[in-house]
A and B are shown apart, each in its own frame.
Chain A
């Protein structure tokens, strides 16, 4: 397959809240919770931010780095999220308009819990490889909600990353992508319900670990590779603990996953998690670096990617948009009252 990543862009909102701040409200040991999850803080979107605005900012960053690409050559925009602003009316058309890609293109919104963004990447890879279009845009972004007082309140955060997929001037070639998918109800949200529910301990071994390790092993077999063949590995990261454990299980070292592990610093950005982790790796990657990526979405499935960074990355105008280190510097810490206000948890008077 000749196709791969032509450009990428990321965005994480500025605001942060600490686990102890959340714990104090519910009489829980927030600091302890944070330690247990290996999450030091999480990002909080401003009241005027949502998946549309986050995806737009990431996509604009992505386009800024390839000024020679005509947005009208984008043939598709797919956005994966579990917090699309509308139940019916796509996020993708708004973002497509905001990057001037419309109207000769297709678009759709995806949902597959935390792996909807990587599913979008797979779709775009298929579309550009088959010659259907020159470029496809795949975005994973979320402004996930954690129920007040629930464990997820410490981790559910906001952020997203966008990928321009194509076959020309590829900076990171996707050597192979495959997936492992089953019907496993570990985590879900019914239509109209504000907060998701989960199966507690069931979300571990039968869900996250099974699908990631299965997809990973399938990829090792398909490519004839071992963990040591890769410079970096990025795994889905609902907290800091799970990816650390699954990496060890598969034989990866902490060094390999460190760069792509953002959750301890920004929380679980759900559909944005793996796309953001990969973008942090690409920020520092050199030609020839091989990257192993496995996402996970509840419900359940894992998308795995074997990626090699090309020489083209030397020509890539990465500095035209902020790199992850710049995006994450100088965050603004807020208290729980502000957090509740921002997240719309306070009942405001109606007109």
Chain B
């Protein structure tokens, strides 16, 4: 059984795309960081929460045919790197779309979906996936 606490801790990022902004250089990051890789020590204790835009474009993608067990019911499914409208890159599944229709540059938006569950009796994990912007 996976750690309940570990996945719970990531809820702000997984549900609401909460990342970090460095007040020193203005750069934004996802997932959130305690330290700006650019400013390093100058940013310790100063990083601010930042809500990443939920809209973006497909930068690259692939259709997964060999999947981990938890995703068996969704094979084949699409994974993608998405560039959000505020310039942040995120990796996620692309759902509610015919794999044959996915194109680099496609407009997409973030939704909340089930990622997996710790078996039949364990906790259900929710997180972001993206759907085509219609």
Chain A interface residues toward B at CB < 8 A: 14, 46-50, 52-53, 56-57, 60, 85-86, 94, 97-98, 100, 322, 326, 330, 332, 341-342, 344, 348-351
Contacts and interface: CB of A to CB of B under 8 A. Distances in A.
Contact of B114 (A49, A326, A341): A49
B16 A100 contact: yes
B72 interface: yes
Contact of A53 (B11, B16, B112): B112
A111 B126 CA distance: 22
A341 B74 CA distance: 9
B96 A46 contact: yes
Nearest to B73: A47
Interface size classification for chain B: 20 to 34
Contacts of B69: 349, 351
5 closest A-B pairs by beta carbon, nearest first, are A48-B113, A47-B73, A56-B112, A48-B114, A98-B15
A53 B128 CA distance: 10
B124 A53 contact: no
Nearest to A57: B111
Contacts of A332: 98
Contacts of B73: 47, 341-342, 344, 348
B15 A97 contact: yes
B129 A48 contact: yes
Interface of B is mostly: mixed
A259 B86 CA distance: 39
Interface in B80-134: 93, 95-96, 98, 111-115, 119, 124, 126, 129, 134
A14 B111 CA distance: 14
A49 B113 contact: yes
Given A14-B96, A52-B112, 13 more contacts: A46-B95, A48-B74, A48-B93, A48-B114, A50-B114, A52-B124, A53-B112, A57-B112, A94-B126, A97-B11, A98-B16, A326-B134, A341-B73
A28 to B, nearest CB: 26
Contacts of A53: 111-114, 126
Nearest to B74: A47
A60 B124 CA distance: 20
A252 to B, nearest CB: 34
Contacts of B93: 48
Most buried by B among A46, A332, A342, A350: A46
Contacts of B11: 97
Most buried by A among B16, B69, B113, B124: B113
Contacts of A97: 11, 15-16
A189 to B, nearest CB: 18
A322 B132 CA distance: 14
A106 B49 CA distance: 24
Contacts of A351: 69, 119
Nearest to B117: A85
Contacts of B16: 97-98, 100
